[in-house]
Protein backbone atom coordinates (compact mmCIF):
# COMPACT_ATOMS: atom_id res chain seq x y z
CA UNK A 1 0.00 0.00 0.00
CA UNK A 2 2.78 2.40 0.99
CA UNK A 3 4.44 1.71 -2.36
CA UNK A 4 1.26 2.72 -4.21
CA UNK A 5 1.20 6.01 -2.33
CA UNK A 6 4.83 6.84 -2.90
CA UNK A 7 4.66 6.20 -6.61
CA UNK A 8 3.44 9.73 -7.33
CA UNK A 9 6.06 12.49 -7.25
CA UNK A 10 5.39 16.17 -6.72
CA UNK A 11 7.84 19.06 -6.72
CA UNK A 12 6.95 22.15 -4.70
CA UNK A 13 8.91 25.21 -5.84
CA UNK A 14 9.21 27.64 -2.94
CA UNK A 15 9.27 27.15 0.82
CA UNK A 16 7.18 30.21 1.66
CA UNK A 17 4.24 29.43 3.93
CA UNK A 18 2.05 28.49 0.92
CA UNK A 19 4.62 26.00 -0.39
CA UNK A 20 5.30 24.61 3.07
CA UNK A 21 1.60 23.96 3.70
CA UNK A 22 1.22 22.25 0.31
CA UNK A 23 4.33 20.13 0.95
CA UNK A 24 3.15 19.10 4.41
CA UNK A 25 -0.38 18.17 3.32
CA UNK A 26 0.81 16.31 0.22
CA UNK A 27 3.52 14.39 2.08
CA UNK A 28 1.03 13.53 4.80
CA UNK A 29 -1.18 11.95 2.12
CA UNK A 30 1.60 9.73 0.90
CA UNK A 31 2.84 11.69 -2.10
CA UNK A 32 6.59 11.73 -2.70
CA UNK A 33 7.33 15.44 -2.24
CA UNK A 34 10.48 17.39 -3.05
CA UNK A 35 10.42 20.96 -1.78
CA UNK A 36 12.88 23.34 -3.47
CA UNK A 37 13.90 26.83 -2.52
CA UNK A 38 16.65 29.04 -3.84
CA UNK A 39 17.05 30.54 -0.35
CA UNK A 40 19.20 28.84 2.28
CA UNK A 41 16.24 27.90 4.48
CA UNK A 42 12.44 27.85 4.70
CA UNK A 43 10.06 30.78 5.17
CA UNK A 44 10.34 33.01 2.10
CA UNK A 45 9.09 36.38 3.33
CA UNK A 46 8.92 34.90 6.86
CA UNK A 47 12.66 35.40 6.98
CA UNK A 48 15.15 36.35 9.64
CA UNK A 49 18.03 38.79 9.54
CA UNK A 50 21.09 38.78 11.77
CA UNK A 51 21.85 42.24 13.10
CA UNK A 52 24.80 42.82 15.38
CA UNK A 53 24.71 39.22 16.55
CA UNK A 54 20.93 39.00 17.07
CA UNK A 55 18.53 37.03 14.86
CA UNK A 56 15.26 38.84 14.26
CA UNK A 57 12.09 38.60 12.20
CA UNK A 58 12.49 40.71 9.08
CA UNK A 59 9.19 39.79 7.42
CA UNK A 60 5.71 39.33 8.87
CA UNK A 61 5.36 40.19 12.54
CA UNK A 62 1.60 40.30 13.14
CA UNK A 63 0.31 36.76 13.67
CA UNK A 64 -3.49 36.58 13.27
CA UNK A 65 -6.22 34.07 12.32
CA UNK A 66 -4.65 31.32 14.38
CA UNK A 67 -7.49 28.98 13.39
CA UNK A 68 -6.10 28.78 9.86
CA UNK A 69 -2.82 27.15 10.87
CA UNK A 70 -4.65 25.12 13.52
CA UNK A 71 -7.00 23.45 11.02
CA UNK A 72 -4.16 22.87 8.54
CA UNK A 73 -2.10 21.21 11.26
CA UNK A 74 -5.10 19.11 12.27
CA UNK A 75 -5.57 18.03 8.68
CA UNK A 76 -1.95 16.88 8.74
CA UNK A 77 -2.47 14.96 12.00
CA UNK A 78 -0.84 17.60 14.20
CA UNK A 79 -1.88 20.48 16.42
CA UNK A 80 -0.80 23.94 17.47
CA UNK A 81 1.40 22.20 20.07
CA UNK A 82 3.73 21.41 17.15
CA UNK A 83 4.39 25.13 16.67
CA UNK A 84 6.48 27.30 18.99
CA UNK A 85 4.38 28.65 21.90
CA UNK A 86 1.95 31.41 20.91
CA UNK A 87 1.11 34.10 23.47
CA UNK A 88 -1.96 36.32 22.97
CA UNK A 89 -1.08 40.01 23.09
CA UNK A 90 -3.38 42.15 25.28
CA UNK A 91 -2.36 45.30 23.38
CA UNK A 92 -2.91 44.97 19.61
CA UNK A 93 -0.95 48.11 18.74
CA UNK A 94 0.11 51.50 20.08
CA UNK A 95 -0.55 54.48 17.79
CA UNK A 96 1.18 57.85 17.85
CA UNK A 97 0.95 60.97 15.68
CA UNK A 98 3.60 63.47 14.65
CA UNK A 99 4.12 66.11 17.30
CA UNK A 100 1.43 64.77 19.64
CA UNK A 101 2.04 63.44 23.12
CA UNK A 102 -1.21 61.46 23.32
CA UNK A 103 -1.02 57.88 22.09
CA UNK A 104 -3.90 55.48 21.48
CA UNK A 105 -3.75 51.77 22.21
CA UNK A 106 -6.11 49.21 20.71
CA UNK A 107 -6.67 46.16 22.87
CA UNK A 108 -7.66 42.56 22.26
CA UNK A 109 -10.57 43.36 24.57
CA UNK A 110 -12.79 45.66 22.47
CA UNK A 111 -14.30 47.20 25.61
CA UNK A 112 -10.87 48.44 26.68
CA UNK A 113 -10.36 49.86 23.18
CA UNK A 114 -13.72 51.65 23.41
CA UNK A 115 -12.66 53.19 26.74
CA UNK A 116 -9.32 54.26 25.28
CA UNK A 117 -11.05 55.78 22.24
CA UNK A 118 -13.49 57.54 24.57
CA UNK A 119 -10.58 59.12 26.46
CA UNK A 120 -8.79 59.99 23.21
CA UNK A 121 -11.64 61.29 21.06
CA UNK A 122 -14.80 61.47 23.18
CA UNK A 123 -17.77 59.28 24.04
CA UNK A 124 -19.48 59.64 20.64
CA UNK A 125 -16.44 58.22 18.84
CA UNK A 126 -16.29 55.37 21.37
CA UNK A 127 -19.91 54.51 20.50
CA UNK A 128 -19.08 54.66 16.81
CA UNK A 129 -16.16 52.31 17.40
CA UNK A 130 -18.47 49.77 19.05
CA UNK A 131 -20.79 49.95 16.03
CA UNK A 132 -17.80 49.69 13.70
CA UNK A 133 -16.64 46.50 15.44
CA UNK A 134 -20.13 44.98 15.15
CA UNK A 135 -20.15 45.74 11.42
CA UNK A 136 -16.61 44.40 10.93
CA UNK A 137 -17.66 41.17 12.65
CA UNK A 138 -20.67 40.82 10.35
CA UNK A 139 -18.58 41.46 7.23
CA UNK A 140 -15.91 39.01 8.33
CA UNK A 141 -18.44 36.28 9.11
CA UNK A 142 -20.17 36.94 5.78
CA UNK A 143 -16.99 36.58 3.71
CA UNK A 144 -15.13 33.87 5.63
CA UNK A 145 -16.90 30.91 4.00
CA UNK A 146 -17.95 32.17 0.57
CA UNK A 147 -14.66 33.97 -0.07
CA UNK A 148 -11.74 32.90 2.12
CA UNK A 149 -12.50 29.20 2.14
CA UNK A 150 -13.73 28.99 -1.41
CA UNK A 151 -11.39 27.48 -4.01
CA UNK A 152 -11.96 30.28 -6.54
CA UNK A 153 -14.86 32.63 -5.91
CA UNK A 154 -16.69 34.29 -8.76
CA UNK A 155 -19.20 37.14 -8.59
CA UNK A 156 -22.23 34.93 -9.46
CA UNK A 157 -20.98 32.16 -7.14
CA UNK A 158 -20.56 34.63 -4.28
CA UNK A 159 -24.02 36.11 -4.80
CA UNK A 160 -25.49 32.61 -4.72
CA UNK A 161 -23.66 31.56 -1.56
CA UNK A 162 -24.01 34.81 0.39
CA UNK A 163 -27.78 34.50 0.67
CA UNK A 164 -30.09 37.50 1.31
CA UNK A 165 -28.59 38.32 4.70
CA UNK A 166 -24.98 38.24 3.47
CA UNK A 167 -25.88 40.34 0.46
CA UNK A 168 -27.63 42.88 2.69
CA UNK A 169 -24.50 43.11 4.88
CA UNK A 170 -22.25 43.83 1.92
CA UNK A 171 -24.60 46.20 0.11
CA UNK A 172 -25.02 48.05 3.42
CA UNK A 173 -21.35 49.02 3.15
CA UNK A 174 -21.96 50.44 -0.33
CA UNK A 175 -20.70 47.92 -2.87
CA UNK A 176 -18.40 50.39 -4.61
CA UNK A 177 -17.38 52.32 -1.52
CA UNK A 178 -13.70 52.68 -0.71
CA UNK A 179 -12.44 52.02 2.79
CA UNK A 180 -11.50 55.69 3.18
CA UNK A 181 -14.98 56.93 2.21
CA UNK A 182 -16.67 54.36 4.42
CA UNK A 183 -14.56 55.38 7.43
CA UNK A 184 -15.35 59.05 6.80
CA UNK A 185 -19.03 58.25 7.22
CA UNK A 186 -18.24 56.34 10.36
CA UNK A 187 -15.68 58.34 12.38
CA UNK A 188 -15.49 62.08 12.81
CA UNK A 189 -12.05 62.19 14.39
CA UNK A 190 -9.49 62.37 11.56
CA UNK A 191 -6.93 60.37 13.52
CA UNK A 192 -9.33 57.49 14.03
CA UNK A 193 -10.15 57.51 10.34
CA UNK A 194 -6.42 57.38 9.58
CA UNK A 195 -5.83 54.59 12.09
CA UNK A 196 -8.54 52.29 10.74
CA UNK A 197 -7.75 53.17 7.11
CA UNK A 198 -4.34 51.60 7.67
CA UNK A 199 -6.05 48.20 7.55
CA UNK A 200 -5.96 48.53 3.74
CA UNK A 201 -2.18 48.28 3.88
CA UNK A 202 -2.42 44.82 5.47
CA UNK A 203 -3.28 43.72 1.93
CA UNK A 204 -0.79 46.13 0.38
CA UNK A 205 -3.50 48.54 -0.78
CA UNK A 206 -4.25 52.26 -0.57
CA UNK A 207 -7.25 53.15 1.63
CA UNK A 208 -8.35 55.45 -1.19
CA UNK A 209 -8.69 52.51 -3.58
CA UNK A 210 -9.34 49.52 -1.32
CA UNK A 211 -12.93 48.30 -1.05
CA UNK A 212 -14.74 49.05 2.22
CA UNK A 213 -14.93 45.30 2.89
CA UNK A 214 -11.29 45.45 4.07
CA UNK A 215 -12.68 46.87 7.33
CA UNK A 216 -13.00 43.17 8.21
CA UNK A 217 -9.31 43.34 9.20
CA UNK A 218 -10.58 44.99 12.41
CA UNK A 219 -12.33 41.72 13.24
CA UNK A 220 -9.26 39.70 12.26
CA UNK A 221 -7.29 41.59 14.90
CA UNK A 222 -10.06 41.39 17.48
CA UNK A 223 -10.00 37.61 17.06
CA UNK A 224 -6.46 37.78 18.43
CA UNK A 225 -2.89 38.83 17.70
CA UNK A 226 -0.22 36.45 19.00
CA UNK A 227 3.47 36.69 19.73
CA UNK A 228 5.41 33.65 18.56
CA UNK A 229 8.25 32.42 20.74
CA UNK A 230 11.35 32.46 18.55
CA UNK A 231 9.62 34.71 16.00
CA UNK A 232 7.45 34.13 12.95
CA UNK A 233 10.34 32.48 11.16
CA UNK A 234 10.12 29.67 13.72
CA UNK A 235 6.60 28.89 12.44
CA UNK A 236 8.04 28.31 8.96
CA UNK A 237 10.76 26.11 10.42
CA UNK A 238 8.14 24.03 12.23
CA UNK A 239 6.17 23.47 9.03
CA UNK A 240 9.38 22.46 7.23
CA UNK A 241 10.25 20.03 10.04
CA UNK A 242 6.77 18.45 9.96
CA UNK A 243 6.86 18.10 6.16
CA UNK A 244 10.24 16.38 6.53
CA UNK A 245 8.81 14.05 9.18
CA UNK A 246 6.16 12.97 6.67
CA UNK A 247 8.82 12.12 4.14
CA UNK A 248 9.21 15.34 2.10
CA UNK A 249 12.72 15.99 0.84
CA UNK A 250 13.72 19.59 1.53
CA UNK A 251 16.35 21.09 -0.77
CA UNK A 252 17.48 24.64 -0.03
CA UNK A 253 19.90 26.62 -2.17
CA UNK A 254 18.15 24.97 -5.15
CA UNK A 255 16.78 27.46 -7.65
CA UNK A 256 14.35 26.05 -10.19
CA UNK A 257 14.87 27.46 -13.67
CA UNK A 258 12.32 25.55 -15.72
CA UNK A 259 9.04 23.71 -15.38
CA UNK A 260 9.06 20.88 -17.94
CA UNK A 261 6.04 19.80 -19.95
CA UNK A 262 5.50 16.67 -22.03
CA UNK A 263 4.36 16.79 -25.63
CA UNK A 264 0.72 16.91 -24.59
CA UNK A 265 1.44 20.02 -22.49
CA UNK A 266 1.24 18.27 -19.11
CA UNK A 267 3.74 18.95 -16.35
CA UNK A 268 6.45 16.28 -16.30
CA UNK A 269 9.05 17.75 -13.92
CA UNK A 270 11.40 20.62 -13.26
CA UNK A 271 14.94 21.60 -14.10
CA UNK A 272 17.18 23.23 -11.52
CA UNK A 273 19.57 26.07 -12.27
CA UNK A 274 22.35 23.47 -11.87
CA UNK A 275 20.91 21.58 -14.86
CA UNK A 276 19.62 18.67 -12.77
CA UNK A 277 16.17 17.43 -13.77
CA UNK A 278 13.57 16.14 -11.31
CA UNK A 279 10.68 14.19 -12.83
CA UNK A 280 7.27 14.93 -11.29
CA UNK A 281 3.62 14.08 -11.89
CA UNK A 282 2.64 17.54 -10.72
CA UNK A 283 4.26 20.77 -9.55
CA UNK A 284 3.22 23.47 -7.07
CA UNK A 285 4.70 26.89 -7.76
CA UNK A 286 4.89 29.15 -4.67
CA UNK A 287 6.72 32.11 -6.23
CA UNK A 288 5.16 35.23 -7.73
CA UNK A 289 2.76 34.16 -10.55
CA UNK A 290 4.35 36.95 -12.64
CA UNK A 291 7.62 34.93 -12.61
CA UNK A 292 5.82 32.38 -14.81
CA UNK A 293 4.57 35.11 -17.16
CA UNK A 294 8.06 36.65 -17.39
CA UNK A 295 9.48 33.31 -18.51
CA UNK A 296 11.65 32.78 -15.39
CA UNK A 297 10.42 29.19 -15.29
CA UNK A 298 10.86 28.62 -19.00
CA UNK A 299 8.86 29.56 -22.09
CA UNK A 300 6.48 26.58 -21.91
CA UNK A 301 4.61 27.91 -18.83
CA UNK A 302 4.49 31.64 -19.68
CA UNK A 303 0.76 31.37 -20.29
CA UNK A 304 0.08 29.66 -16.95
CA UNK A 305 -1.01 32.84 -15.14
CA UNK A 306 -2.50 36.18 -16.20
CA UNK A 307 0.01 39.03 -16.56
CA UNK A 308 -0.08 41.65 -13.79
CA UNK A 309 0.82 45.20 -14.84
CA UNK A 310 3.30 47.11 -12.66
CA UNK A 311 0.64 49.62 -11.65
CA UNK A 312 -1.53 46.86 -10.17
CA UNK A 313 1.19 45.70 -7.79
CA UNK A 314 0.62 46.00 -4.06
CA UNK A 315 2.84 47.91 -1.65
CA UNK A 316 6.49 47.15 -1.22
CA UNK A 317 8.49 48.51 1.73
CA UNK A 318 11.76 49.83 2.94
CA UNK A 319 12.61 48.06 6.20
CA UNK A 320 15.29 48.63 8.78
CA UNK A 321 16.14 45.70 11.04
CA UNK A 322 17.68 47.38 14.06
CA UNK A 323 19.36 46.09 17.19
CA UNK A 324 19.85 49.15 19.37
CA UNK A 325 18.59 50.84 22.55
CA UNK A 326 15.59 53.19 22.47
CA UNK A 327 14.53 55.95 24.83
CA UNK A 328 11.78 58.49 25.38
CA UNK A 329 8.75 56.46 24.21
CA UNK A 330 7.29 53.36 25.84
CA UNK A 331 7.09 50.95 22.92
CA UNK A 332 4.53 48.15 22.76
CA UNK A 333 5.25 45.12 20.57
CA UNK A 334 3.40 46.68 17.60
CA UNK A 335 3.63 50.46 17.15
CA UNK A 336 2.42 52.77 14.41
CA UNK A 337 3.69 56.33 13.97
CA UNK A 338 1.50 58.46 11.71
CA UNK A 339 2.53 61.58 9.85
CA UNK A 340 0.20 64.51 9.09
CA UNK A 341 -0.69 64.06 5.43
CA UNK A 342 -1.96 60.51 5.03
CA UNK A 343 -3.31 60.90 1.51
CA UNK A 344 0.06 62.09 0.18
CA UNK A 345 1.67 58.83 1.36
CA UNK A 346 -0.44 56.81 -1.07
CA UNK A 347 -0.30 59.40 -3.85
CA UNK A 348 3.49 59.33 -3.63
CA UNK A 349 3.58 55.53 -3.72
CA UNK A 350 0.86 54.62 -6.20
CA UNK A 351 0.77 57.70 -8.49
CA UNK A 352 4.14 59.45 -8.25
CA UNK A 353 5.89 56.08 -7.67
CA UNK A 354 8.34 57.41 -5.14
CA UNK A 355 9.12 56.86 -1.48
CA UNK A 356 6.58 58.75 0.63
CA UNK A 357 7.47 62.23 1.81
CA UNK A 358 5.21 61.72 4.83
CA UNK A 359 5.20 57.95 5.34
CA UNK A 360 3.71 56.08 8.27
CA UNK A 361 6.37 54.18 10.22
CA UNK A 362 5.52 50.79 11.70
CA UNK A 363 7.85 49.53 14.42
CA UNK A 364 7.74 45.96 15.72
CA UNK A 365 9.59 45.82 19.03
CA UNK A 366 10.15 42.08 19.06
CA UNK A 367 11.36 41.83 22.62
CA UNK A 368 8.27 43.56 24.02
CA UNK A 369 4.79 42.30 24.81
CA UNK A 370 5.81 39.96 27.63
CA UNK A 371 4.86 40.27 31.27
CA UNK A 372 8.02 42.23 32.16
CA UNK A 373 8.79 45.72 30.83
CA UNK A 374 11.89 45.91 28.63
CA UNK A 375 14.88 47.20 30.67
CA UNK A 376 15.63 50.76 29.71
CA UNK A 377 18.86 51.32 27.81
CA UNK A 378 19.23 47.67 26.74
CA UNK A 379 19.60 47.09 22.98
CA UNK A 380 16.41 45.68 21.54
CA UNK A 381 15.33 44.15 18.24
CA UNK A 382 13.16 46.39 16.08
CA UNK A 383 11.75 45.97 12.60
CA UNK A 384 10.92 49.43 11.22
CA UNK A 385 8.89 49.57 8.03
CA UNK A 386 7.83 52.32 5.64
CA UNK A 387 5.55 51.57 2.67
CA UNK A 388 7.13 51.95 -0.76
CA UNK A 389 6.26 51.51 -4.45
CA UNK A 390 6.88 48.01 -5.83
CA UNK A 391 9.33 49.22 -8.45
CA UNK A 392 12.26 47.11 -7.35
CA UNK A 393 12.72 45.89 -10.92
CA UNK A 394 12.27 49.36 -12.43
CA UNK A 395 15.11 51.24 -10.70
CA UNK A 396 17.64 50.75 -7.93
CA UNK A 397 16.47 52.11 -4.60
CA UNK A 398 19.92 53.45 -3.79
CA UNK A 399 21.17 55.45 -0.83
CA UNK A 400 20.32 58.73 -2.59
CA UNK A 401 16.67 57.74 -2.42
CA UNK A 402 16.55 55.72 0.80
CA UNK A 403 18.78 57.88 3.05
CA UNK A 404 16.33 60.81 3.08
CA UNK A 405 13.48 58.37 3.75
CA UNK A 406 15.40 57.01 6.72
CA UNK A 407 16.05 60.53 8.04
CA UNK A 408 12.36 61.45 7.66
CA UNK A 409 11.33 58.27 9.45
CA UNK A 410 13.70 58.84 12.37
CA UNK A 411 12.52 62.43 12.59
CA UNK A 412 8.88 61.28 12.73
CA UNK A 413 9.75 58.85 15.53
CA UNK A 414 11.64 61.66 17.28
CA UNK A 415 8.65 64.01 17.00
CA UNK A 416 6.63 61.38 18.89
CA UNK A 417 9.32 61.21 21.57
CA UNK A 418 11.11 58.02 20.45
CA UNK A 419 14.88 58.43 20.41
CA UNK A 420 16.61 55.88 18.23
CA UNK A 421 20.11 56.43 16.85
CA UNK A 422 21.47 53.12 15.62
CA UNK A 423 25.09 52.84 14.57
CA UNK A 424 25.60 51.51 11.02
CA UNK A 425 26.50 48.02 12.31
CA UNK A 426 23.26 47.94 14.36
CA UNK A 427 21.01 48.29 11.33
CA UNK A 428 20.24 46.50 8.05
CA UNK A 429 18.15 48.07 5.35
CA UNK A 430 16.03 46.16 2.82
CA UNK A 431 14.61 48.01 -0.20
CA UNK A 432 12.09 47.10 -2.93
CA UNK A 433 15.11 46.19 -5.08
CA UNK A 434 16.23 43.69 -2.43
CA UNK A 435 12.71 42.28 -2.11
CA UNK A 436 12.52 41.86 -5.88
CA UNK A 437 15.83 39.99 -5.85
CA UNK A 438 14.57 37.70 -3.07
CA UNK A 439 11.13 37.22 -4.66
CA UNK A 440 11.73 37.36 -8.41
CA UNK A 441 9.31 39.19 -10.74
CA UNK A 442 7.43 40.71 -7.80
CA UNK A 443 9.00 44.16 -8.19
CA UNK A 444 9.29 43.87 -4.42
CA UNK A 445 5.49 43.81 -3.94
CA UNK A 446 4.94 42.10 -0.62
CA UNK A 447 1.26 41.24 -1.05
CA UNK A 448 0.84 40.21 -4.71
CA UNK A 449 -1.67 42.29 -6.61
CA UNK A 450 -3.13 45.32 -4.81
CA UNK A 451 -6.70 44.92 -3.59
CA UNK A 452 -7.86 48.02 -5.44
CA UNK A 453 -11.54 48.10 -6.39
CA UNK A 454 -13.99 45.40 -5.38
CA UNK A 455 -13.31 43.31 -8.51
CA UNK A 456 -9.69 42.82 -7.36
CA UNK A 457 -11.02 40.23 -4.91
CA UNK A 458 -11.91 38.05 -7.89
CA UNK A 459 -8.89 38.69 -10.09
CA UNK A 460 -6.18 36.70 -8.31
CA UNK A 461 -5.34 33.42 -9.99
CA UNK A 462 -6.65 30.32 -8.25
CA UNK A 463 -4.76 27.15 -7.35
CA UNK A 464 -5.43 25.53 -10.73
CA UNK A 465 -3.97 27.22 -13.78
CA UNK A 466 -3.90 26.79 -17.55
CA UNK A 467 -1.15 24.13 -17.46
CA UNK A 468 -2.39 20.66 -16.47
CA UNK A 469 -0.48 19.40 -13.46
CA UNK A 470 0.78 22.85 -12.40
CA UNK A 471 -0.72 24.43 -9.28
CA UNK A 472 -0.20 27.85 -7.70
CA UNK A 473 0.12 28.74 -4.01
CA UNK A 474 1.13 31.91 -2.18
CA UNK A 475 0.18 35.46 -1.37
CA UNK A 476 -0.24 36.33 -5.07
CA UNK A 477 -2.93 33.68 -5.43
CA UNK A 478 -6.50 33.46 -4.06
CA UNK A 479 -7.43 34.09 -1.22
CA UNK A 480 -4.61 36.65 -1.04
CA UNK A 481 -1.67 37.90 0.99
CA UNK A 482 -0.65 37.58 4.61
CA UNK A 483 0.54 34.45 6.35
CA UNK A 484 -2.90 32.92 7.03
CA UNK A 485 -4.21 33.60 3.52
CA UNK A 486 -1.07 32.31 1.83
CA UNK A 487 -1.33 29.22 4.06
CA UNK A 488 -4.94 28.72 2.92
CA UNK A 489 -3.77 28.99 -0.69
CA UNK A 490 -1.26 26.21 0.00
CA UNK A 491 -4.06 24.07 1.35
CA UNK A 492 -6.20 24.81 -1.72
CA UNK A 493 -3.29 23.93 -4.02
CA UNK A 494 -2.74 20.61 -2.23
CA UNK A 495 -6.45 19.82 -2.51
CA UNK A 496 -6.58 20.67 -6.23
CA UNK A 497 -3.43 18.65 -6.86
CA UNK A 498 -4.80 15.62 -5.02
CA UNK A 499 -7.98 15.84 -7.07
CA UNK A 500 -5.82 15.99 -10.21
CA UNK A 501 -3.83 12.90 -9.17
CA UNK A 502 -7.04 11.16 -8.16
CA UNK A 503 -8.47 11.75 -11.61
CA UNK A 504 -5.57 9.91 -13.27
CA UNK A 505 -5.64 6.13 -13.51
CA UNK A 506 -2.55 5.12 -11.52
CA UNK A 507 -3.53 6.91 -8.34
CA UNK A 508 -5.53 5.10 -5.65
CA UNK A 509 -6.65 7.24 -2.72
CA UNK A 510 -5.73 5.57 0.59
CA UNK A 511 -6.62 6.15 4.19
CA UNK A 512 -3.84 7.71 6.23
CA UNK A 513 -3.12 6.95 9.84
CA UNK A 514 -5.12 9.99 11.00
CA UNK A 515 -8.17 8.57 9.22
CA UNK A 516 -8.00 11.13 6.39
CA UNK A 517 -8.23 10.01 2.83
CA UNK A 518 -7.08 11.91 -0.21
CA UNK A 519 -10.69 12.56 -0.99
CA UNK A 520 -11.46 14.11 2.38
CA UNK A 521 -8.39 16.31 2.05
CA UNK A 522 -9.72 17.54 -1.26
CA UNK A 523 -13.10 18.38 0.09
CA UNK A 524 -11.79 19.77 3.39
CA UNK A 525 -10.71 22.96 1.70
CA UNK A 526 -13.99 23.51 -0.08
CA UNK A 527 -16.73 25.62 1.46
Ligand X SMILES: Cc1cc2nc3c(=O)[nH]c(=O)nc-3n(C[C@H](O)[C@H](O)[C@H](O)COP(=O)(O)OP(=O)(O)OC[C@H]3O[C@@H](n4cnc5c(N)ncnc54)[C@H](O)[C@@H]3O)c2cc1C
The CB-of-440 to ligand X minimum distance in angstroms stands at: 6
| For ligand X, the closer CB: 481 or 509 | 481
User: 155-173 vs 123-143: helix axis angle to the nearest 10?
Assistant: 170
Q: What is the 3-state secondary structure (H, E, C) of 15-39?
A: CEHHHHHHHHHHHHCCCEEEEEECC
The CB-of-287 to ligand X minimum distance in angstroms stands at: 3
| For ligand X, the closer CB: 273 or 327 | 273
Q: How far is Cα 105 from Cα 123, in angstroms, rounded to an integer? A: 16
Q: Closest residue (Cβ) to ligand X?
A: 16
Q: How far is Cα 19 from Cα 40, in angstroms, rounded to an integer? A: 15
Residue 476: which residues within 8 A CB-CB, separation 6 or more?
Answer: 288, 289, 290, 308, 442, 448, 449, 460, 461
| For ligand X, the closer CB: 240 or 418 | 240
Q: Segment contacting ligand X (CB under 6 A): 30-38, 77-85, 90-98, 341-349? A: 30-38
Contact 360, 345 (CB under 8 A): yes
Q: How far is Cα 143 from Cα 330, in angstroms, rounded to an integer? A: 37
Q: Can you spell out the DSSP letters for 301-315?
A: GGGGS----GGGB--
- Residue 392 as a binder of ligand X (CB under 6 A): the answer is no
The CB-of-259 to ligand X minimum distance in angstroms stands at: 9
Q: Can you spell out the DSSP letters for 98-119?
A: TT----EEEESSHHHHHHHHHH
Residue 496: which residues within 8 A CB-CB, separation 6 or more?
Answer: 151, 462, 463, 464, 471, 522
Q: How far is Cα 511 from Cα 4, in angstroms, rounded to an integer? A: 12
The CB-of-329 to ligand X minimum distance in angstroms stands at: 21
Single out the residue of 187, 175, 207, 174 nearest to residue 121, CA to CA: 187
- Residue 461 as a binder of ligand X (CB under 6 A): the answer is no
Q: Segment contacting ligand X (CB under 6 A): 70-78, 81-89, 478-486, 501-509? A: 478-486
| For ligand X, the closer CB: 59 or 146 | 59
Q: Which of residues 302-321 bind ligand X (CB under 6 A)?
A: 317, 319
The CB-of-184 to ligand X minimum distance in angstroms stands at: 26
Among 104, 133, 483, 494, binds ligand X (CB under 6 A): 483
| For ligand X, the closer CB: 121 or 364 | 364
Q: How far is Cα 273 from Cα 332, in angstroms, rounded to an integer? A: 44
Contact 278, 270 (CB under 8 A): yes
The CB-of-466 to ligand X minimum distance in angstroms stands at: 19
| For ligand X, the closer CB: 18 or 461 | 18
Paired residues of 12 in beta bridges? 35, 284
Terminal CA-CA length for the chain: 31
- Residue 30 as a binder of ligand X (CB under 6 A): the answer is no
| For ligand X, the closer CB: 19 or 469 | 19
Among 158, 197, 212, 446, binds ligand X (CB under 6 A): 446
Among 359, 392, 475, 479, binds ligand X (CB under 6 A): 475
- Residue 495 as a binder of ligand X (CB under 6 A): the answer is no
How distant is the alpha carbon of residue 258 from its chain centre? Answer: 26
For ligand X (CB under 6 A), the number of binding residues is 36
Paired residues of 33 in beta bridges? 10
Q: Which of residues 44-103 bind ligand X (CB under 6 A)?
A: 44-46, 59-62
Q: Segment contacting ligand X (CB under 6 A): 31-39, 98-106, 132-140, 370-378? A: 31-39
Single out the residue of 319, 317, 277, 271 nearest to residue 296, CA to CA: 271
The CB-of-361 to ligand X minimum distance in angstroms stands at: 13
Among 482, 495, 518, 521, binds ligand X (CB under 6 A): 482
Residues in the site for ligand X, rule: CB under 6 A?
Answer: 13-19, 36-39, 44-46, 59-62, 255-256, 286-287, 291, 317, 319, 385, 439-440, 446-447, 474-475, 481-483, 486
Amino acid sequence: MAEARRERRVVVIGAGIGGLVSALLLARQGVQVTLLDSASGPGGKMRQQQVDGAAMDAGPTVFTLRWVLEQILEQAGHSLADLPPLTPLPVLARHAWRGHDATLDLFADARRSAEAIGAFAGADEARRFVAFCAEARKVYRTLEGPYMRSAKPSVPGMIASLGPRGLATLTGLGPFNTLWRYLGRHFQNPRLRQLFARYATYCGASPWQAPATLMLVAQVELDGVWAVQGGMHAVAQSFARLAGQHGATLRYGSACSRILLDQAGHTRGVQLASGEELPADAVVFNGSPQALVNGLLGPAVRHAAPSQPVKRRSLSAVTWAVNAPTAGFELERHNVFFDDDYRSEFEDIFHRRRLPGAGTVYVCAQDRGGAQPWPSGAPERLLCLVNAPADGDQRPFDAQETDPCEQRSLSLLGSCGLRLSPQPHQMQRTTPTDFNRLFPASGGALYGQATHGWMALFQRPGASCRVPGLFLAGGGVHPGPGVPMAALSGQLAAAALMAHLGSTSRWHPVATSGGMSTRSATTAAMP
